[in-house]
């Protein structure tokens, strides 16, 4: 029997003989076809489907389908061949410059087998886009070792927001962390400087958000028409600089685009330096930087191995300088968080399914409302008649509303109209 390959041998090139692989912990729960895409990308989906259909792929000696979920420790038998042309293989990695590698290494706060925690600087985008060539996603190759999978983003920060950014090192940990973010069990703490001082020192903002028309999805707005997505943010005033500005702690309880920025602007206290949502009223005079003052200070999330990731990111230079100028002290801001309640995989899946169902129902309600408003059906013209009775408004000879005519075979047929005494019955005569 062939000896099962270890993870570092997944990408071996010899496909002239039967291969056997031991499923690792990171791939537990993944579909069989996803495993091939991760570890043997040179084998096309059509080939994997044919092998499964003809019984050439085996898991612990048993047949398996492309949608079979894998378990750690199983032995996967892969037949010889199946290699596709080189042009369809894994993409070639673009070499990084020395400056890019140095930048990538300077951002690292913590690193282990499952995750890399970065302190993203302001001005660096998380992902690429139109006209965006420098971004965190483009630097992830700097963290790849020999025969290791490429790290993956599992959440995002706005370009001008600094602070904690979590990167998954393996496909398995990426799936694990993504479930924690979508299930809202991850705890994210932001610091911000805002214009003015909120009257309520510790409050909850619940305002639905939607994309602002005409901006190409680049700007969000509060939408209380029923079409917006539910969004909830908690804030706490840590300190104040007179009535000029306040230092606040923010916690997004949902994960909408630009959520914290839109919510703070909506209550009249835009984040300092956020001209997109606060306009000219979002800037302080004097020595305060015009950059945005929003920083992902702390992240606490479960680790795939059962521990807890709890990381705090130092402030960027412009934010720290503004804190000093306004008389704020960093040690006043960090407070202990309550003990985290670990969430089981089953509960995480339930929460994700519930959130998906809620969004689906909201979309369907919106579709029905549009059909009703847009004349999706044919409107009926009023007839002026009541069902089963005289025309509406028609009166009898005595000027009173005409009585409804009883319908034969219906309950109540032949009964006197309500409010009238029944006619006296004639006494029956003697029988003849």
How does pLDDT run across 229-244, given as a tens digit for each residue? 999 999 999 999 999 9
- The answer as to whether 404 is a domain residue is no
CATH code for position 12? 3.10.290.10
Residues 117, 33, single domain; the answer is no
Q: Does 144 share its domain with 281?
A: yes
Asked, for residue 419, whether it belongs to a domain, the answer is no
Identify whether the C-beta of residue 353 lies closer than 8 Å to the C-beta of residue 345: no
Same domain, 236 and 142: yes
**Pairwise pLDDT comparison (197 vs 40), residue with the higher score:** 197
Residues 6+ apart with CB under 8 A from 116: 108, 110, 143, 151, 166, 167, 169
Mean of the per-residue pLDDT values of the chain: 81
> Which residues 6+ apart lie within 8 Å of 298 measured at CB?
164, 187, 188, 189, 310, 311, 312, 313, 334
Question: Do residue 171 and residue 216 come from a single domain?
Answer: yes
Q: What is the pLDDT of residues 55-92, one digit of tens each?
A: 999 999 999 998 899 988 999 999 988 765 444 445 56
Q: What residues form DSSP beta bridges with 256?
A: none
Does 280 have pLDDT greater than 90?
Answer: yes
How crowded is residue 5: how many other Cβ atoms within 10 Å of its Cβ? 17
Q: Are residues 251 and 182 in the same domain?
A: yes
Q: Are both 232 and 312 inside the same structural domain? A: yes
Segment holding 359, helix H or strand E: helix 345-373
Of the residues 289, 304, 336, the one at which a domain ends: 336
Higher pLDDT, 323 or 415: 323
Q: 117-137: buried (b, 16+ CB within 10 Å) or exposed (e) per residue?
A: bbbbebebbbeeeeeeeebbb
pLDDT of residue 354: 72
Query: Strands, DSSP E only, in 158-244?
Result: 162-168, 187-195, 202-206, 209-211, 220-222, 232-241
The pLDDT score that the predictor gives to residue 156 is 94
Q: Are 309 and 167 in contact (CB under 8 A)?
A: no
**What is the arithmetic mean of pLDDT over 391-404?**
48
Q: Are 28 and 172 in contact (CB under 8 A)?
A: yes
- The answer to whether residue 124 is domain-embedded is yes
Q: Ranked by mean pLDDT, which of 4-13, 127-136, 335-344 comes out on top? A: 127-136
Residues 145 and 41 in one domain: no
Least confident range from 121-125, 176-180, 237-241, 243-247: namely 176-180
- Among the residue ranges 11-20, 144-153, 262-271, 298-307, the one predicted with the least confidence is 11-20
pLDDT in the model for residue 410: 44
Would residue 119 be called left, alpha or beta, if left means φ above 0 and alpha means ψ between -120 and 50 degrees? beta
Tell me if 134 is assigned to some domain. yes
Same domain, 112 and 47: no
Q: Are residues 58 and 156 in the same domain?
A: no
Distance CA 42, CA 24 (A): 20
Cα–Cα distance, 432 to 419 (Å, whole number): 38
Same-domain status, 67 and 200: no
Strand 245-252 with 162-168, pairing: unpaired
Give the DSSP H/E element, type plus range, for residue 34.
Answer: helix 32-39
Between the alpha carbon of residue 285 and those of residues 282, 322, 326, 399, the distances in Å are 10, 11, 12, 81
Pair (113, 79) in one structural domain: no
pLDDT of 313 > 50? The answer is: yes
Question: Which residues 6+ apart lie within 8 Å of 68 measured at CB?
Answer: 31, 32, 59
Per the structure, how many domains does the chain have? Answer: 2
Q: If you average pLDDT over each of 78-92, 207-221, 287-301, which comes out highest?
A: 287-301
pLDDT tier for residue 351 given thresholds of 50, 70 and 90:
low
Q: Provide mean pLDDT across the span 28-36.
A: 87
Q: Domain of 16?
A: 7-83
Report the C-alpha gap between 310 and 91 in whole angstroms: 34
To which residue do tokens 């029944």 refer?
422
- Let me know how many helices (H) and strands (E) the chain has, helices first: 8, 16
Name the domain boundary from 83, 117, 146: 83
Residues identified as active-site: 158
Radius of gyration, CA atoms only, the chain: 33
Q: Which is more confidently placed, 216 or 80?
A: 80
Q: Look up the CATH number of the domain holding residue 298.
A: 3.30.2350.10
pLDDT at 381 over 50: no
* DSSP H or E stretch at residue 106: helix 98-106
Cα distances (Å, whole numbers) of residue 331 to 161, 294, 323, 324, 328? 21, 17, 11, 12, 9
| pLDDT for 141 beyond 90 | yes
Residue 278 domain flag:
yes
Residue 362 lies in a domain: no
Cβ atoms within 10 Å of 319's Cβ, excluding its own: 24
Note whether residue 247 is domain-resident. Answer: yes
Please give the pLDDT value at position 83: 64
Establish if 1 belongs to a structural domain. Answer: no
User: pTM above the 0.85 mark?
Assistant: no
Residues 6+ apart with CB under 8 A from 268: 196
**Helix, strand, or coil here: 21?**
strand
Looking at the structure, tell me whether residues 167 and 309 fall in a common domain: yes
Q: According to the model, what pLDDT value does residue 164 have?
A: 98
d(CA 426, CA 407): 25
Average pLDDT over residues 137-142: 94
Tell me the H-state helices in 70-129: 98-106
Of 306, 336, 366, which residue is a domain's last? 336
Please indicate whether residue 19 or residue 376 has the higher confidence score (pLDDT). Answer: 19
């Amino acid at each position: 029997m062939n000896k099962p390959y270890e993870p570092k041998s997944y990408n071996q090139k010899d496909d002239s003989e039967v291969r056997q692989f031991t499923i690792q912990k990171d791939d537990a729960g993944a579909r069989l076809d996803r495993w091939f895409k991760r570890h043997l990308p040179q084998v096309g989906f059509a080939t994997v489907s044919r092998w499964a259909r003809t019984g050439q792929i085996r898991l612990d000696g048993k047949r398996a389908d492309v949608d079979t979920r894998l378990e750690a420790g199983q032995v996967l038998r892969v037949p010889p061949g199946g290699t596709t042309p080189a042009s369809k293989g894994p993409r070639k990695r673009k070499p990084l410059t020395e400056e890019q590698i140095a930048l990538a290494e300077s951002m690292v706060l913590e690193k282990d087998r499952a995750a890399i925690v970065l302190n993203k600087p302001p001005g660096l985008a998380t992902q690429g886009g139109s006209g965006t060539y420098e971004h965190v996603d483009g630097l992830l190759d700097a963290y790849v070792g020999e025969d290791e999978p490429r790290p993956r983003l599992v959440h995002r920060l706005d370009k001008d927001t600094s602070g904690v950014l979590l990167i998954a090192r393996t496909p398995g940990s990426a799936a694990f962390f993504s479930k924690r973010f979508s299930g809202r069990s991850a705890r994210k703490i932001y610091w911000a400087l805002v214009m003015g001082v909120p009257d309520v020192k510790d409050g909850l903002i619940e305002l639905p958000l939607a994309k602002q028309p005409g901006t190409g999805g680049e700007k969000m707005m509060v939408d209380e028409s029923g079409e917006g997505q539910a969004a909830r943010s908690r804030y706490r005033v840590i300190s104040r600089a007179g009535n000029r500005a306040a230092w606040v702690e923010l916690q997004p309880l949902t994960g909408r685009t630009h959520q914290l920025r839109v919510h703070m602007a909506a209550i009249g206290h835009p984040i300092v330096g956020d001209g997109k949502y606060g306009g000219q009223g979002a800037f302080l005079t004097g020595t305060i930087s015009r950059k945005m003052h929003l920083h992902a200070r702390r992240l606490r999330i479960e680790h795939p191995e059962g521990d807890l990731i709890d990381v705090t990111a130092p402030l960027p230079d412009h934010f720290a300088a503004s804190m000093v100028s306004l008389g704020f002290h960093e040690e006043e801001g960090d407070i202990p968080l309550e003990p985290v309640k670990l969430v089981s995989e089953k509960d995480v899946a339930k929460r994700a399914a519930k959130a998906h169902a809620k969004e689906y129902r909201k979309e369907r309600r919106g579709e029905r409302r549009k059909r009703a408003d847009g004349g999706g059906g044919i409107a009926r013209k009023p007839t002026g008649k009541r069902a089963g009775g005289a025309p509406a408004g028609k009166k009898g000879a005595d000027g009173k509303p005409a009585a409804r005519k009883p319908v034969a075979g219906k309950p109540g047929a032949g009964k006197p109209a309500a409010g009238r005494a029944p006619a006296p019955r004639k006494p029956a005569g003697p029988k003849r």
